[in-house]
Amino acid sequence: MTRKVSNFSDLIQRVTASCLLHPLATAASGKEDENSHYDSEENRNEEYEEEDENEDYEEEEEYEYDEERAVGPLKALKVKQMEGLMEEVFETVSSMKRAYVRLQEAHSPWDPERMRAADVAVVTELRKLAVLRERFRRSGGGEGRRKGRRRGGGVASVREVVAPYEAVVEELKKEVKVKDLEVRNLREKLDSAVALTSNGSGEKKPGRSLSKRRLGIQVAAVPTPELFEAAMVQVREASKSFTSLLLSLMHNAHWDITAAVRSIEAATASTDKYHNTSTTSIVSAHHAKYALESYISRKIFQGFDHETFYMDGSLSSLLNPDQFRRDCFTQYRDMKSMDPTELLGILPSCHFGKFCSKKYLAIVHPKMEESLFGNLEQHSQVQAGNHPRSEFYNEFLGVAKTVWLLHLLAFSLNPAPSQFEASRGAEFHQQYMDSVVKFSGGRVSAGQVVGFPVSPGFKLGNGSVIKARVYLIART
């Protein structure tokens, strides 16, 4: 373009010079000279323009050739990047598979630490996969999918990316909930310890020994016979509380308590060698709670001698006894401070959850529940593998938890406690039995025999005995 401008200015100068040099020439000749000069300059300009066009065309051809030469290495580089990316994907998937296998192995035998570590590993590998997916999209591999998302909306894409993180957040929320429960129970332990140590007087206050026992259960580092004794005290307390609630519901439903007691006695007599053929109840009206507690205890302790209450055919206690004892005590320590309702809300189908379902259905007959509550809603929920949030079921969970913890402790001790139960009609032995009915003077009168057992007793490895609780009647 610069060359064209300079030629045009040269043309003007030449025409002006021609006019000045030939002022006397005719107008025609002047015009001819001007036209001839103009034509010559115009032809020259056209030649220059053609040269410029040819140069531009040659430059374009050279650029296209360079671009074609660059396509090959770019494709090779992109393929290499994709191969590296896919290799990382396969490695991450393999790592996630190994972590998931470790997670499954940690369930049997139960190992909370290994489960926690394996769970973290699985989540880590999932996050790696999410990062690799984003790298694939940014590299241009997901171009077609991106166009489809533009047409279908970007909401699905956002949900797809966020979904794994939402799942992780939900799991973390559950863990936080469990930790909150542990913190709450630890705070209660601290308050109990402070209250216990702050009592500096030598005077023995009511409930002091029980507080020591409870505190011993909470802070013990190894299983001991004393720990088992304290756990049995809690079983009896929880059993009494649940029995009182059940008996009050029976009264409210206008049950014939005497007939119910006769039915319980008949069921007890059928399992003993001493049969009572009398149709008259041996239990007085104000002692009906002992018959009801006996019924509950017999049902919930059934299968106590087996490592899983005969819920499955596991033989871990025989195949690897030392490891099984350690696992039982670890489960005991993990569970002792948890609220059973909250625990089953998170893990409804765990071994403890199955135990609760089995024992509830054994204790609370459908006709009993329908009579007490007017429906079978709780029974249906338990049969479906769920755990109701009712006051009645929550009270039952209190008993179930104490028995489950006692069972874990029993299989943590070496040697394990030996369970025994007083038989109906057996002689009263003060060394092994304790009467639930108090006699005047604090001593059992002569001629008393076991009417029915209320709760079992245990002989411990250190030689101590947890007495069986019995309801005594006169021999005649």
Mean pLDDT in residue range 392-420? 96
Tell me the C-alpha distance between 114 and 206, whole Å: 43
State residue 435's pLDDT score.
Answer: 93
Least confident of 45-59, 202-216, 300-314, 385-399: 202-216
Helices (DSSP H) in 139-205: which residue ranges?
A: 143-152, 155-198
pLDDT bin (cut points 50, 70, 90) of residue 124 is confident
pLDDT bin (cut points 50, 70, 90) of residue 159 is low
Least confident of 82-96, 135-149, 233-247, 370-384: 135-149
Tell me the C-alpha distance between 15 and 245, whole Å: 126
State residue 273's pLDDT score.
Answer: 47
Mean pLDDT in residue range 57-64? 52
Cβ atoms within 10 Å of 428's Cβ, excluding its own = 19
Tell me the C-alpha distance between 320 and 306, whole Å: 15
Helices (DSSP H) in 253-350: which residue ranges?
A: 257-269, 288-300, 316-319, 321-335, 340-346
Tell me the C-alpha distance between 47 and 54, whole Å: 11
Phi, psi dihedrals of residue 183, rounded to the nearest 5°: -65, -40
User: So where are the chain's domains?
Assistant: 2-143, 225-255+301-414
State residue 112's pLDDT score.
Answer: 76
pLDDT tops 90 at residue 236: yes
State residue 181's pLDDT score.
Answer: 73
Least confident of 32-41, 113-122, 199-208, 326-335: 199-208
Mean pLDDT in residue range 371-385? 94
Beta strands in 80-121 (DSSP E): none
The size of the chain, in residues, is 476
pLDDT tops 90 at residue 32: no
Interval 278-329: pLDDT, tens? 445 677 667 889 999 999 999 999 999 999 999 988 888 888 999 999 999 9
Interval 463-472: pLDDT, tens? 999 999 999 9
State residue 199's pLDDT score.
Answer: 47
Residue 208: CA count within 13 A, CB half-sphere: 12
Least confident of 179-193, 217-231, 238-252: 179-193
pLDDT tops 90 at residue 170: no
Nearest to 96 by CA among 71, 45, 130: 130
Mean pLDDT in residue range 154-158? 58
Which token pair is 120? 């973290």
Mean pLDDT in residue range 192-220? 46
The answer to whether 424 and 432 have CB atoms below 8 angstroms apart is: no
Mean of all residue pLDDT scores within the chain: 77
